[in-house]
Structure formats: structure tokens, C-alpha cells
């Protein structure tokens, strides 16, 4: 399930695809009529088109769009424009600010600082190119005896650099604040969810303690009382078995209550963590079961429910493969964090090669299972805002693949 894009962002992208190109086209016509030459006009038009494409793709590929837009801006900085120092003052250059905003808000955390560094470097490049052109124009004006042109050209690069720097820093600052706000909102939502879970666990514990534990205690007491009062050995033995069974159930119930009382950090597997994923995969490997884990891209933060769903899905995929497929068997676990492929989610895949085929029907000791594990995994993924696909593999033995998409913290 893909989250809905920000309506404000959609409006800005729409403007960048309609009004802004028209204004840029008008200025390009002015450049052509002013005798700027065909080649500069074509270069500027191409760079402007690249900026618009980058803005359109920034929602799905913020890093790639930002790198592309930065390259286009570097080209514009080196092309002179009548009335201004360079092509960076075209209306289409506003697309760079949109892409910069997007990569700071929705890109990997490592790109927050990089976006500012690239922006400041771009301002320096633009100012340097403008200063070189201004000095060349001043030298030409002095040779022609035009002192006024020299005075006018001396302050223009400084003014343009100040305006560009202010725009870059302002957009970066607002975007960083927006990202922080979204992360706080995600953290608050995760905290509310955890509070609700603790409340639910407490309610379940009360019900188990007040109803079931009490009833089992009564069963033990009544069975013991009846056993003492009977004179038939068979009946006494049956009542003793009833009492022993009730005691065993009561002990198991008390163990469950201790787990429900424990905080998540002390409950072991109750709240699984990504940190335990390598150990989980390693524990499933044997000489006849080759199990591998690969992670691609830089890890990003996951909401608590999404993290739990991811680990439980991997656990269920490994369990199903080992339980239902005869060795030798290869199982691959692949976690894709690459923001270029999906800026708002992580993708996980558990696949097996089919091994030596399904286990024999008489191998019931291994194949035994309730059949509810996969359904529970799907419920966890769906509850976390993700999607799960189960498909048959392409091997002759008939391998299976579990593919899930889970949202990351700060997803739009």
C-alpha cells in the first residue's frame, strides 16, 4: 500500500509542469531574439527540461532526482543570460528548490546534510562564474571608456549570490524542520500504539487471571474434594488426573501471565528487533539447509509494528521452508532499503529453491503445523500499513516466495 502524496507537494509539482515552463519558454524566446545565439538557447532549454523531469520524479526517487537537478543547475550557472549573470535565474530553476525540499524531507537521513553542501557549492559556482563574466565585461567596458558599466557589473554577482544562498538555506531549513516534525509525529504514533498494546496486554492479563485462573483453581479444588469423597478406585484415579491436568494448565497460564507482565525489552521474542535478524537466519542454517541474508542500501528507521512484522515474516518464511520442503534446500532472505527504488518503504523477500521437493506425507513429525502462521504474518504486515504477496517460485521443485513492502518512518 503506497501512502498518498502530500497535496501541497502535488500542487507545486503541477505548477512546475505548467506555469513555470511557459514563463521559461517566454524568456528563452527573448534570449533568442536578443541575439544570444542558438547554442546557448538550446543548452538552457535542455537543462530546464531536465529540471522539470527531476521535479516530476522526485516523489519516487528523491536522491536520483536531486543529483540530476544539481547537474542541470551547474550547466545553467555556466551559461550567460541577457539581463542576468546566468541561466539559474530562469523560472524553471525553482524546480531545483522543489527537488532539494523533497530529498531533505523524504530521502535518506545521510542526504539531509549533503543537500545543503551541494546547494552552497552550487551558489559558489554560480557566483564564481558570474564574477568571471563581470570582470570580462568590465574590462571590455573600460577599453571602450564605459565606467558606468564597470560600476554596475561589480555588485550584480554579489547580489545574485546573496539571493541564491538565502533561497537555498531557507528551503533547506524549512525542509529539515518538516522532516523533524514528521519523524516526531511518527514517533508519537508509535508511542500511542505501544501504549494501546500495553493496555490491551493488561486487559488480557486481567481476564486470564480473574476468569480462567480462578476457574482452573476451582477445578483443582473440586476434583480433589470429589476424589476424597469417592470410594471407587477408578473414579478416584480419573479425578486425580483431572486435578493434575488442571494444575499443569494453571502453571502454564501463570507463565503466560509473567510474559504479559514483562516489559517489551525483557520479553525476549515478544517484540522482535531487526538487530536479531542475522541470528535468526543463522539459526536456521544446517549442512543441508543453506540460508543467506542480504541487505541492500542504508538502513532506515521503521515504526515498531513494521519492524516486528518484518522479523516475524522472515521467521515464518524460514519455518515454512524448513518444515515443508525436503533438503538439500537453499533459502534466501533479501531486505532492500534502497531509497532510490522506494523512498517510503523497505521491501523484504524470503524465497526458497524448492529443495528436493515437498516432504513425504509420512514425515508428519516435521510437517506438523497449525497453518495459521502465514495468516498471522499477513495480518501483522497489513496492520503495519504494508502489503504481502505469496507466489509459487519458478523452479521445477516448486519453490515459494514471500514478498512484503513495509512503510518506513517519515513516509509521505
| 94-146 residue pLDDT tens | 888 889 988 998 888 889 999 999 999 988 888 888 777 777 655 554 444 44
What pLDDT score does 266 carry?
A: 44
In a domain, 256, yes or no: yes
pTM for the model = 0.51
* 134-138, 249-253, 384-388, 405-409: segment of lowest average pLDDT: 134-138
Residues 253 and 300 occupy one common structural domain: no
**Per-residue pLDDT averaged across 242-246, rounded?**
81
Q: Are residues 180 and 325 in the same domain?
A: no
Same domain, 301 and 393: yes
Q: Within 13 A of 400's CA, how many CA atoms are on the CB side?
A: 16
Name the percent of the chain lying above pLDDT 90. 15
Q: Considering its fold, how many domains does the chain have in total? A: 3
At 154-212, the pLDDT tens digits run 676 778 788 889 989 999 999 999 899 888 888 888 888 888 888 887 777 777 766 67
- Residue 2, domain member (yes or no): no
Q: Are residues 26 and 147 in the same domain?
A: yes
Alpha carbon distance 226, 234 (integer Å): 13
Is the omega angle on the peptide bond into residue 328 within 30 degrees of 0, that is, cis? yes
Number of CB atoms found within 10 A of residue 166's CB = 11
CA angle 381, 408, 291 (to 5 degrees): 60
Using one digit for the tens of pLDDT, what is the confidence trace for 10-32?
A: 656 665 555 556 656 666 666 66
The domain boundary, picked from 218, 244, 268, lies at: 268
Closest CA to 61 of 405, 406, 411, 341: 341
Same domain, 257 and 326: no
The CA–CA distances, whole Å, from 50 to 26, 99, 119 equal 17, 12, 17
Q: Give yes or no: residues 11 and 107 share one domain.
A: yes
Q: Which domain holds residue 231?
A: 196-268
Alpha-carbon Rg for the chain, nearest whole angstrom, is 33
As a whole number of angstroms, the distance between CA 29 and CA 22 comes to: 11
Amino acid at each position: 500500500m503506497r501512502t498518498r502524496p502530500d497535496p501541497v507537494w502535488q500542487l507545486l509539482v503541477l505548477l512546475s509542469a505548467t506555469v513555470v515552463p511557459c514563463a521559461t519558454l517566454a524568456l528563452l524566446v527573448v534570449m533568442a531574439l536578443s541575439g544570444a545565439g542558438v547554442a546557448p538557447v538550446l543548452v538552457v532549454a535542455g537543462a530546464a527540461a531536465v529540471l522539470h523531469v527531476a521535479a516530476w520524479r522526485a516523489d519516487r526517487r528523491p536522491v536520483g532526482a536531486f543529483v540530476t537537478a544539481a547537474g542541470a543547475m551547474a550547466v545553467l550557472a555556466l551559461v550567460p543570460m541577457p539581463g542576468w549573470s546566468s541561466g539559474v535565474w530562469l523560472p524553471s530553476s525553482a524546480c531545483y528548490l522543489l527537488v532539494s525540499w523533497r530529498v531533505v524531507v523524504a530521502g535518506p537521513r545521510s542526504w539531509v546534510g549533503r543537500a545543503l553542501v551541494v546547494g552552497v557549492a552550487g551558489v559558489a559556482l554560480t557566483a564564481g562564474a558570474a564574477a568571471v563574466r563581470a570582470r570580462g565585461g568590465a574590462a571590455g567596458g573600460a577599453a571602450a571608456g564605459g565606467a558606468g558599466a564597470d560600476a554596475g557589473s561589480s555588485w550584480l554577482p554579489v547580489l545574485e549570490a546573496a539571493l541564491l544562498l538565502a533561497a537555498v538555506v531557507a528551503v533547506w531549513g524549512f525542509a529539515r524542520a518538516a522532516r523533524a516534525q514528521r519523524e516526531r509525529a511518527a514517533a508519537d504514533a508509535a508511542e500511542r500504539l505501544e501504549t494501546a498494546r500495553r493496555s490491551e496486554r493488561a486487559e488480557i492479563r486481567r481476564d486470564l487471571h480473574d476468569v480462567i485462573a480462578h476457574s482452573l483453581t476451582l477445578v483443582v479444588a473440586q476434583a480433589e474434594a470429589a476424589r476424597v469423597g469417592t470410594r471407587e478406585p477408578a473414579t478416584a484415579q480419573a479425578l486425580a488426573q483431572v486435578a493434575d491436568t488442571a494444575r499443569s494448565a494453571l502453571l502454564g497460564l501463570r507463565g503466560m501471565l509473567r510474559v504479559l507482565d514483562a516489559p517489551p525489552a525483557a520479553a525476549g521474542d515478544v517484540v522482535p528487533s531487526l538487530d536479531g535478524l542475522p541470528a535468526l537466519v543463522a539459526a536456521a542454517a544446517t549442512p543441508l539447509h543453506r540460508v543467506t541474508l542480504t541487505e541492500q542500501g542504508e538502513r532506515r528507521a521503521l515504526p515498531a509494528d513494521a519492524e516486528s512484522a518484518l522479523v516475524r515474516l522472515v521467521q515464518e518464511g524460514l519455518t515454512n521452508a524448513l518444515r515443508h520442503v525436503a533438503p538439500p534446500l537453499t533459502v534466501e532472505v533479501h531486505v532492500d532499503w534502497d531509497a532510490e527504488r522506494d523512498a517510503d518503504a523497505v521491501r523484504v523477500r524470503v524465497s526458497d529453491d524448492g529443495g528436493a521437493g515437498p516432504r513425504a506425507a509420512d514425515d508428519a513429525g516435521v510437517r506438523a503445523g497449525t497453518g495459521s502462521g502465514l495468516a498471522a504474518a499477513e495480518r501483522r504486515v497489513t496492520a503495519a500499513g504494508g502489503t504481502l504477496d505469496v507466489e509459487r517460485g519458478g523452479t521445477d521443485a516448486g519453490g515459494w516466495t514471500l514478498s512484503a513492502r513495509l512503510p518506513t518512518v517519515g513516509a509521505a
